[in-house]
Amino acid sequence: MWRRIKAKAEGLYKADTKHFVTKRMDKLYADYGGIPGDLHFGLTKKAGAREPMYERGTEIFNRRQISIVSMEECDEIAEAMGIPNIFPEWLGANIAISGFPSLTSLKEGSRIIFPSGASFLCEGENDPCIQPGEVIQSYYQHHPKLAPAFVRHAMGKRGIVCIVERPGDICAGDPIDIHSYEPKRAKKKIERV
């Protein structure tokens, strides 16, 4: 089953340094390895804390080429944390969308398609970690303990990670089509005794 959702690319971002905070861009090109020059670009990556089944440093397929957040979910996290704003670049996002406030619940296998034909395949939820919380804390120093609060309040709202399924250009303001994959559930048979 597929459900089609209309949304908008509100912001585009790229992390072109070793630090994961991204900077705003007007246009990006997505290649099969992600966004060329971005911190997370590449068909493969080194296994880290998120892949405990492998020895650290083992070369594995990169399922985290693109990070996407929802502006509505960013606002919900900020409100729950008692701060005015959380900006997508603080979270290391590559794309911020509006019009789909439950982005993080998007199932693996869903597609995000841009007017150029560029397409991303959802690889699942981007679990919150302390690093963006520390960035947020640096902007709101008068609010104590925001780093761990971010992890707690961003659970289920942190956005998704994707791989590039089809290369192409992406522009800020682009309308996007989200094809939400919703697998059919098998009906349980009732056994009679």
Is residue 185 scored above 80 in pLDDT?
no
Indicate the residue type of 70: S
**At residue 192, does pLDDT exceed 90?**
no
For 154-171, the pLDDT digits (tens) are 999 999 999 999 999 999
Contacts of range 181-190, beta carbons closer than 8 Å, 24 or more positions apart = 181/1, 181/2, 181/107, 181/108, 181/109, 181/110, 181/111, 181/122, 182/1, 182/2, 182/3, 182/107, 183/1, 183/107, 184/1
Mean pLDDT, the chain, rounded, equals 93
State the CB neighbour count (10 A cutoff) for residue 64: 18
Q: What element of type H or E holds 102?
A: none
Q: What is the chain's length?
A: 193
Rounded to 5°, angle at Cα 95 from 157 and 53: 60
- 33 contacts 164 by C-beta, under 8 angstroms: yes
CA distance 103 to 26: 22
The pLDDT, as a whole number, for residue 182 is 82
Calpha distance 68→53 (Å, rounded): 25
Does the pLDDT value for residue 189 go beyond 70? Answer: no
Q: How confident is the model at residue 18 (pLDDT cuts 50, 70, 90)?
A: confident
H or E element that contains 3: strand 2-14
Helix (H, G, I), strand (E, B) or coil at 74: helix
pLDDT at 191 (0 to 100): 61
The predicted-structure confidence for 109-153, as pLDDT tens digits, reads as follows 999 999 999 999 999 999 998 999 999 999 999 999 999 999 999
Please report the pLDDT score of residue 176 as a whole number. 97
Question: Domains along the chain?
Answer: 2-36+64-181 (2.40.33.20)
Instruction: Write down the pTM of the prediction.
Output: 0.91
